[in-house]
């Protein structure tokens, strides 16, 4: 069954209102890292009606990813950018996607993120997280970064919270758990991703 762009938009408007839908459609968001956090964030933002996503990751889907990341068996071996883009277009074929299959570094960070207003940090390693956060805050006065710290283990999900650290930096997570010493579990990672996506929506709608 084919559903038109107008039908999809009408259903969003019925739930969220035309003003909110217009703001979401005009938003430009980058998701850096497409693992457990990033793949969940991208799917949630697509369902919310965000009109443009820049997906950034250099990695391929591995069978070890399937227990917590939004990929499927038939996508193992595919680049995460392409696999996730395929899934997002099944949710909303009208979404505008930019795919960058590259590894983030100090040299490509600024040109890579120059066109997006909101950046979701969804990386694995602490040093790469710091590179992204410091690079965005240091290079751009007008961009907002929504980062994550602490979603490993099986502690109380209510410990995963969202907070504003500075004018252009928000942080989600428990701030304590370490993925290098504790395992990552699908539900707790998804809780953190949902907090990030929720914050992005609030920022887009002018509620932050």
% residues pLDDT > 70 (the chain): 100
Q: What is the mean pLDDT of residues 177-185?
A: 86
What is the structure's pLDDT at 114? 95
pTM over 0.85: yes
**For 142-172, what is each residue's pLDDT tens digit?**
999 999 999 999 999 999 999 999 999 999 9
What is the structure's pLDDT at 187? 95
**Looking at the predicted structure, is the pLDDT value of residue 94 above 90?**
yes
Q: What is the mean pLDDT of residues 130-140?
A: 96
Q: What is the mean pLDDT of residues 90-117?
A: 96
What is the structure's pLDDT at 178? 82
What is the structure's pLDDT at 9? 87
Give helix 36-48 / helix 186-204 axis angle, nearest 10°: 40
**Looking at the predicted structure, is the pLDDT value of residue 60 above 80?**
yes
Q: What is the mean pLDDT of residues 108-121?
A: 97
Architecture of the domain whose range is 15-204 = 3-Layer(aba) Sandwich (3.40)
What is the structure's pLDDT at 1? 67
What is the structure's pLDDT at 73? 97
What is the structure's pLDDT at 3? 84
């Amino acid at each position: 069954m084919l559903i038109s762009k107008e039908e999809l938009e009408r259903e969003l408007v019925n739930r969220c209102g035309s003003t909110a839908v217009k703001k979401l459609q005009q938003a430009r968001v980058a998701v850096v890292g497409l693992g457990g956090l990033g793949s969940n964030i991208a799917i949630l933002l697509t369902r919310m009606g965000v009109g443009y996503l820049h997906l950034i990751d250099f990695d391929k889907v591995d069978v070890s990813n399937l227990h917590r990341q939004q990929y499927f068996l038939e996508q193992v071996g595919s680049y995460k950018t392409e696999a996730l883009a395929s899934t997002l277009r099944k949710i909303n074929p009208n979404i505008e996607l930019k795919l960058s299959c590259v590894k983030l570094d100090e040299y490509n960070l600024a040109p890579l993120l120059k066109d997006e207003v909101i950046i979701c940090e969804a990386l694995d390693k602490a040093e790469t997280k710091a590179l992204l956060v410091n690079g965005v805050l240091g290079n751009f006065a007008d961009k907002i970064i929504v980062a994550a710290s602490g979603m490993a283990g099986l502690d109380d999900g209510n410990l995963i919270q969202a907070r504003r650290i500075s004018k252009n930096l928000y942080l989600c997570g428990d701030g304590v758990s370490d993925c290098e010493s504790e395992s990552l579990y699908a539900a707790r990672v998804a809780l953190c991703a949902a907090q990030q996506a929720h914050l992005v929506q609030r920022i887009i709608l002018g509620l932050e």
